[in-house]
Amino acid sequence: MQNRKFGQLGTPVFPVGYGAMSFTDFYGPATEEGSQAILTRCLDLGIDHLDTSNAYGLGKSENRIGAFLSKQGAQAQDMFKIATKAGITRDPDGNRVFNNSPEHLSESLDKSLERLGVDQVELFYVHRRDPDRPIEEVAETLAGLVKSGKTRQVGFSEIAPTQLALAQAVTPIGAVQSEYSLSTRSPEMGLIQKTAEIGTTLVAFSPVGRALLTDTPISYETCQTLDFMKVNPRFLEPNHGRNLAATDGFRTLAADMGVRTSSLAIAWLLHQGDHIVPIPGTRSIAHLEELAAGAHIVLSDSDLAAIDACLPIGWCHGDRYSTGQWGGPEKYC
């Protein structure tokens, strides 16, 4: 599969990026050595888009990318097309709040560039939107950051297609990030269409359903050791067991096709639109190779129909977030 055009500037990127939240302990212990090995293998595989955030491990993800780049010499700036994010912070009482002020976003981008050890990133996202601040005003701030030369493009994470249209009227929006996979199909109700219409890349996080769409789905026991998973409705019983049973047929289908389950999940996603770039995360080299392999799988109409019959829209048990986890993402359908 050929490179995809990233954002409205059309920057060429490998069809599959890498989600660097996995350089933190979000899904289990992550090491400096392991993170460096993943980045090295990304380069070997042609994966050149990295997605990170100042919120991932309180800067740990960016620091680990920066440590790798610091060893690469003069070419470091151009080795990866890096996207980072800001906008999630804490109030004096430790509660999570969203800050989209010009001062906060500008200062956050400066600190991210310092941790990454680069002068410019490919894209800077507003990680979560402050609903009390008009998105047009935030888009003006982002336009100023592009003019500063510190980011080539800008974007938003987890916004509605209507909000995207308002922001796009102010400044070009290079990418919108949203959860999208065979287990989370809500972007099909307006976001895929709007991003395609205006030339915005849809960056799909959790493209293998937080391991549900793999050959080794996460166990209930492991879920109970992880802060995010142990309260997420899809990974609580009885939903967890039901979702494992529901995806067994997809694992069988992948085996019959001679591919790994995660590879097939990525391939399906790439076939939903030329403007879609999934960003799976993993701490495993073998799994990284499976994910990248999805970019080279060509699916026929009959293949896509078989996948749809196996996992029809709406099959997944449980909401994608708990009540507390829903704070920030915009619901639009």
241: its two tokens: 């067991």
Active-site option among 18, 56, 125, 180: 56
SS (H, E, C) 144-188: HHHHCCCEEEEEEECCCHHHHHHHHCCCCCCEEEEECECCECHHH
> Does residue 125 have an active-site annotation?
no
| DSSP-based three-state secondary structure for 202 | strand
State yes or no: cis peptide before 238, omega within 30 of 0: yes
Amino acid at 106: S
Specify which residues 11 forms β-bridges with.
Answer: 6
- Between helix 301-310 and helix 261-270 the angle, nearest 10°, is 120
- The whole-angstrom separation of Cα 304 and Cα 267 is 10
Whose tokens are 């507390």? That residue is: 324
SS (H, E, C) 69-121: HCCCHHHHHHHCEEEEEECEEECCCCCEEECCCHHHHHHHHHHHHHHHCCCCE
Kindly list the catalytic residues.
Answer: 56
